[in-house]
Amino acid sequence: MTLFFSGCATEQERAEERNQIQFLIGVSQANLIEPWRVVMTREIKEEAGKHKHLRVVFTDAAQSSQKQINDVEKLLQQGIDLLIISPNDASVLTPVVAKAYKKIPVIVLDRAVEGYDYTLFIGPDNHSIGKQAGKFVADLLGSRGGNIIEIQGLNGSPPVRDRSEGFQEVIDKYGNIKILDRVAADWQRDKAEDEMKKILKKYPDVDIVFAHNDPMALGAYKATRELGLQGVSFVGIDGLPGANGGLQLVKDGILQGTFTCPTGGKEAVQYAIDILNHEKGIPKKIILRSNKITRDNVALYTDRQNEPVPNVKAKHKIVLGFSQLGRESQWRLANSASIKQAAKDEGIELLFTEADQKQELQIQSIRDFIKQKVDVIAFAPVVEDGWEEVLQEAKTAGIPVIISDRTVNLDDSMYTTFIGADFEEEGRRAARWLVQNMQGRTNVNIVELQGTVGSTPAIDRKKGFEEILREHPQFKIVDSETGDFTRDEGKKVMEDCLRRNGTDIQAVFAHNDDMALGAIEAIEESGLKPGKDIVIVSIDATKNAFNAMLAGKLNCTVECNPLLGPQLMKAVKTLVAGRQLPVRIITSEEVFSQEVARKELPYRKY
Ligand code: GYE
């Protein structure tokens, strides 16, 4: 049953009702005037309705951030077990979300708050939606090019910023396409109609209108109709079902196309139950996939939406082909063990290959899996580039591909989902720890031990680390070389750096623990004290790193979770059952320093 927080029930009635239920979830909604949010709320209700002992209480902030803060406070007083919040204004709501997160699990829907003080974020990739829309508009205009009017949602809101940036990024590549102007219409159809009428007087020669949601695209359409303008095309976002929903507008030829933007309501309830039941492998972020809808696929897409969620039990034993990139580190060995164990636990037949960090061997493995007609292919790409051809072969063979751990430099239409970490954030965390713990030093020379050249963790950890360092000029990377994620190479590189820089090194940033442990050996052999003369921060959080912290030789390690097996098998089963996966599933991680090493070590699983 769902309750709107009306405040009329007596304390005693609430207590009685509370005893009958297992979980009480509070849902704080930003407003209920945007059609998209009405659908989100309905989805949450429908999904919650499937669970007898689950109660959901809703609040509506009516577009007021202050009211939403009060709503959250009230829900906490009411003793909710979990909060689902779709923030009106992400930065304004960040403090109260962090406060709630200290007490109960919190799921943030749609607009991410600042930082990581929440259990799980579920939402779309607005930048990617903007890029997809840009590509579609460019294709529609073709070689002749043309003029665009962009209708934005609420000024300054993160979805607007990200969609516009993604769109602009693509349009900038076309010299003959021009964005004549942008207007804000707060997600509202009528406001878009009014704004469009004004702007058409200024720019009657517009070819395409790109609106940040379907209702505004419809408003713009109405304006052109009223002014008797022909030949203008309209592109929207949301792709909601129902009358005046984006799907119908595409069917009626009012929109040339739209991009679905799933609300995440259903997933939020499903994950809320997993979290409240203390299920393992709860991710930190779920990024939902957006699909392009045009006249060509709207009927098929609508039918799929109306079909009951398939849950076909695979008639045969599911066969998963997994190409592992190598066995270069403790992390990698733990990752392989997690995948093998989870396949066994889930009764999935696993064809597992290792490629000694050689891309050509991985490509060969994937080709073999295609020949063997496995149900699903998954692989950890040793480097980001060079996968287009073989992934196209898998696509042509109709075999879905899951990217595990590291990413590929391709459009996300080339694979079904990515499961792994936010490597940029790991790099930021390593730098933040170093800056916080070496405060007051006037000059900190850092040696960076990079991971495999061209691999996502090496590229993104470096990017995140340098992003933070830019704010602290006294911290400088004076030497940086790849140690290929291995202990031996880490030692060799550190020896070279000590030779080149002598003792004028105050810190080491190693992209993984194995290289850090190699560096510790080199530093000791040079007569210096690792962890004291030279501060060392690394990434992975393996048991070996904890032991090095207990020995005082390593100062901090940023977690990167290798235990991706359970999530991978869950994704494989979802795929084989015919259901769509989020485009990205990002793992949840922490930072560990010497102070907590002794307490945490007994709980480390790898
Ligand atoms: O940090 C390192 C391994 O891809 C996240 O690869 C993984 C990295 C991990 O060699 O230890």
> Does residue 512 line the site of ligand 1, with CB under 6 A?
yes
Spatial separation of the C-alpha atoms in residues 491 and 516, rounded to whole Å: 8
> Does residue 329 line the site of ligand 1, with CB under 6 A?
yes
Mean pLDDT of 499-522: 97
Residue 309: DSSP 8-state: -
Mean pLDDT of 370-379: 97
> Does residue 432 line the site of ligand 1, with CB under 6 A?
no
Of 331, 335, 332, the residue nearest 356 (C-alpha): 332
Tell me the pairing of strands 584-586 and 285-288: antiparallel
> Does residue 461 line the site of ligand 1, with CB under 6 A?
no
Spatial separation of the C-alpha atoms in residues 239 and 242, rounded to whole Å: 10
> Does residue 332 line the site of ligand 1, with CB under 6 A?
yes
| CB burial readout 301-339, b (16+ within 10 A) else e | bbeeeeeeeeeeeeeeebbbbbbbbbebbbbbebbbebb
So what's the pLDDT on residue 577? 85
> In Å, what is the CA distance from 288 to each residue of 125, 409, 479?
7, 19, 39
Percent of the chain with pLDDT over 90: 85
User: From the alpha carbon of 514, which atom of ligand 1 is closest?
Assistant: 11
Nearest residue CA, atom 8 of ligand 1? 457
Residue 491: phi and psi, rounded to 5, are -65, -45
The tokens for 600 are: 């945490």
In the reported structure, the alpha carbon of residue 280 is separated from the centroid of ligand 1 by a whole-number distance in angstroms of: 21
> Does residue 267 line the site of ligand 1, with CB under 6 A?
no
> In Å, what is the CA distance from 326 to each residue of 30, 69, 352?
47, 49, 11
3-state secondary structure of 71: helix
Report CA 23 to chain centroid distance, whole Å: 27
The tokens for 31 are: 């407003």
> Does residue 420 line the site of ligand 1, with CB under 6 A?
no
Is residue 3 predicted with pLDDT exceeding 70? no
Spatial separation of the C-alpha atoms in residues 266 and 41, rounded to whole Å: 9
Spatial separation of the C-alpha atoms in residues 471 and 577, rounded to whole Å: 48
> Does residue 485 line the site of ligand 1, with CB under 6 A?
yes
The tokens for 421 are: 């970490």
So what's the pLDDT on residue 177? 97
Of 550, 563, 561, 530, the residue nearest 593 (C-alpha): 550
Of 343, 319, 327, 344, the residue nearest 380 (C-alpha): 327
> Does residue 481 line the site of ligand 1, with CB under 6 A?
no
Mean pLDDT of 152-176: 94
Is residue 18 predicted with pLDDT exceeding 80? no
User: From the alpha carbon of 513, which atom of ligand 1 is closest?
Assistant: 11
Spatial separation of the C-alpha atoms in residues 365 and 114, rounded to whole Å: 41
Query: Which secondary-structure segment (H or E) carries 521?
Result: helix 513-525
Q: Any idea how long the chain is?
A: 606
Spatial separation of the C-alpha atoms in residues 588 and 425, rounded to whole Å: 11
In the reported structure, the alpha carbon of residue 333 is separated from the centroid of ligand 1 by a whole-number distance in angstroms of: 10
User: From the alpha carbon of 380, which atom of ligand 1 is closest?
Assistant: 4
> Does residue 415 line the site of ligand 1, with CB under 6 A?
no
In the reported structure, the alpha carbon of residue 406 is separated from the centroid of ligand 1 by a whole-number distance in angstroms of: 8
Q: What's the pLDDT tens digit per position in 204-234? A: 899 999 999 999 999 999 999 999 988 999 9
User: From the alpha carbon of 406, which atom of ligand 1 is closest?
Assistant: 4
Partners of 234 in the beta sheet? 209
| Mutational pocket test of ligand 1: of 323, 331, 406, 514, the residue with most ligand atoms within 8 Å of the beta carbon | 331
Is residue 601 predicted with pLDDT exceeding 50? yes
Spatial separation of the C-alpha atoms in residues 202 and 204, rounded to whole Å: 6
Query: Which secondary-structure segment (H or E) carries 523?
Result: helix 513-525
Mean pLDDT of 430-445: 95
Q: What's the pLDDT tens digit per position in 383-430? A: 999 999 999 999 999 999 999 999 999 989 999 999 999 999 999 999
So what's the pLDDT on residue 4? 47
Amino acid at 585: I
> Does residue 489 line the site of ligand 1, with CB under 6 A?
no
Q: What's the pLDDT tens digit per position in 306-330? A: 666 555 555 578 999 999 999 999 9
> Does residue 379 line the site of ligand 1, with CB under 6 A?
no
User: From the alpha carbon of 328, which atom of ligand 1 is closest?
Assistant: 10
So what's the pLDDT on residue 21? 72
> How crowded is the C-beta side of 421, counted as CA atoms within 13 Å?
26
> Does residue 55 line the site of ligand 1, with CB under 6 A?
no
Spatial separation of the C-alpha atoms in residues 570 and 577, rounded to whole Å: 11
Q: What is the pTM of this model?
A: 0.91
Q: Angle 251-239-121 (CA atoms, 0-180°, nearest 5)? A: 170
CB-based burial label for 384 (10 Å; 0-12, 13-18, 19+): middle
User: From the alpha carbon of 326, which atom of ligand 1 is closest?
Assistant: 10
Question: Scanning the structure block, which residue is given the tokens 């073989």?
Answer: 390
C-alpha distance across the termini of the chain, in Å: 42
Of 262, 254, 261, 210, the residue nearest 236 (C-alpha): 210
Residue 14: DSSP 8-state: H
Spatial separation of the C-alpha atoms in residues 325 and 274, rounded to whole Å: 31
What order do you get walking across the sheet with 177-184 strand by strand? 177-184, 146-152, 208-211, 233-238, 257-260, 292-294
| Torsion 354-359-364-366 (CA) sign | positive
In the reported structure, the alpha carbon of residue 553 is separated from the centroid of ligand 1 by a whole-number distance in angstroms of: 21
> Does residue 426 line the site of ligand 1, with CB under 6 A?
no
Q: What's the pLDDT tens digit per position in 251-278? A: 999 999 999 999 999 999 999 999 999 8
Residue 243: phi and psi, rounded to 5, are -60, 140
In the reported structure, the alpha carbon of residue 300 is separated from the centroid of ligand 1 by a whole-number distance in angstroms of: 40
So what's the pLDDT on residue 441? 92
So what's the pLDDT on residue 11? 62
* Mean pLDDT taken over the chain: 93
> Does residue 162 line the site of ligand 1, with CB under 6 A?
no
> Does residue 538 line the site of ligand 1, with CB under 6 A?
no
The tokens for 351 are: 């064809």
Q: What's the pLDDT tens digit per position in 532-583? A: 999 999 999 999 999 999 999 999 999 999 999 999 999 999 899 888 899 9
Tell me the pairing of strands 319-324 and 349-354: parallel
> Does residue 562 line the site of ligand 1, with CB under 6 A?
no
The tokens for 212 are: 């940040």
> Does residue 423 line the site of ligand 1, with CB under 6 A?
no
So what's the pLDDT on residue 363? 98
User: From the alpha carbon of 486, which atom of ligand 1 is closest?
Assistant: 10
Q: What's the pLDDT tens digit per position in 44-101? A: 999 999 988 899 999 999 989 999 999 999 999 999 999 999 999 888 999 999 999 9
In the reported structure, the alpha carbon of residue 289 is separated from the centroid of ligand 1 by a whole-number distance in angstroms of: 26
In the reported structure, the alpha carbon of residue 100 is separated from the centroid of ligand 1 by a whole-number distance in angstroms of: 33
> Does residue 560 line the site of ligand 1, with CB under 6 A?
yes
| CB burial readout 543-563, b (16+ within 10 A) else e | ebbbebbeeebbbbbbbbbbb
Q: Which has more confidence, 15 or 40?
A: 40
| CB burial readout 47-68, b (16+ within 10 A) else e | bbeebeebbbbbbbbebebebb
CB-based burial label for 495 (10 Å; 0-12, 13-18, 19+): middle
So what's the pLDDT on residue 426? 98
